[in-house]
Amino acid sequence: MNCFMFPGQPLLRAAEPADDINYQAIRTLALAHTGLDIHDFSWHREPSSESVALQVYGAAISLYRARLLLQEGQRPEMIAEHSMGIYAALAVSGSLSEGAALELTFRIGACIVRMSETGDYALGCMVGLPLEPLLAIAENNGVYLANYNTSRHFLLSGERHGIQSAVGEALQSGAFSAKVFPCDAPLHTPLMEASTGSLREIVTGYRYAELTIPLMNHIDQDLLTASEVEDFLLQELLLPVYWDKSYQALRAAGVSKFTEVGVGDSLKKYNRWIESEAAR
């Protein structure tokens, strides 16, 4: 069983073939639905943040690469998503059109970026510590677990000063690596509650068709139905991403091939890490 995996926001852009007809089609859709030219990263409407641009770009490249895979005859029997990869995943599952998925990505990003006007947020990437001491560090510093990628790879999210303090404590506690990354908003934490009213207005404005390809959500590893999509899109911004549990559930469901559909190979690396830990 083949699973298409849709990653979240990339950190950087990658080179894409400008003369490819599918790339140009997705580029045109992104420009029409978001105002961003994904090829030169220029805004043709009121500009938004670099993070929002990367979110739109990430969704667009996922849709582009999904088109290529489908044209090659690689149809997935299952779909998995990580963080903001949910929007492109919904399009490939048949629940949204490509244009709607790009528009939704942009509108969610443009909504949450407003949180940066009243708060200074950051992410902490922690590698090497197990969950329990990591959770204690998060609590000590008033920040939250945002991504549970493997049993030794986590993201914390919250106010920048808390993340910086947590990074220092993690390194003192024996983490292999602990780094701070800027972000517009504390995604996947309870702090996002402040924006749920505006976000609800956005997600309820779309019609979600029944999914034609099973899509496993990253919170409780259930398969989404059309009636559950709206609530999931709100809840997933407040709760951590559990990729480790998702990968294990996908393997248990019979998935034997995993194809990362997006920028980079972060999910493939997590999968290898999870497998290596299981083999010990």
Give dist(CA 232, CA 235) in Å, integer.
5
Helix 50-71 / helix 21-34 crossing angle, nearest 10 deg = 140
Total domain count, the chain:
2
Q: Are 169 and 218 in a shared domain?
A: no
Domain final residue, candidates 157, 183, 209: 183
Give dist(CA 141, CA 223) in Å, integer.
35
Q: Are 194 and 110 in a shared domain?
A: yes
Q: Are 104 and 130 in a shared domain?
A: no
Among all chains, which residue has been given the structure tokens 């005859």?
A: 73
Q: Are 133 and 200 in a shared domain?
A: no
Query: Which residues are paired to 121 by β-bridges?
Result: 159, 183
Domain final residue, candidates 127, 155, 183: 183
Give the mean pLDDT of 62-72: 97
Q: Are 9 and 111 in a shared domain?
A: yes
Q: Are 160 and 205 in a shared domain?
A: no
Chain CA centroid to CA 230, Å: 16
Residue 151 is part of which domain span? 119-183
Q: Are 42 and 137 in a shared domain?
A: no
Among all chains, which residue has been given the structure tokens 């929007």?
A: 87
Structure tokens at 200: 């609800």
The pTM is what? 0.95
Structure tokens at 211: 């999914």
In CATH, what number is assigned to the domain containing residue 7? 3.40.366.10
pLDDT at position 235 = 96
Q: Are 109 and 126 in a shared domain?
A: no
The pLDDT tens digits of the residues spanning 164-190 come to: 999 999 999 999 999 999 999 999 999
Residue 120, pLDDT > 90, answer: yes
Q: Are 175 and 229 in a shared domain?
A: no
Residue 133, pLDDT > 90, answer: yes
Gyration radius (Cα) of the chain, Å: 18
Q: Are 41 and 173 in a shared domain?
A: no
Give dist(CA 224, CA 210) in Å, integer.
9
Are 163 and 157 spatial neighbours (Cβ–Cβ below 8 Å)?
A: yes
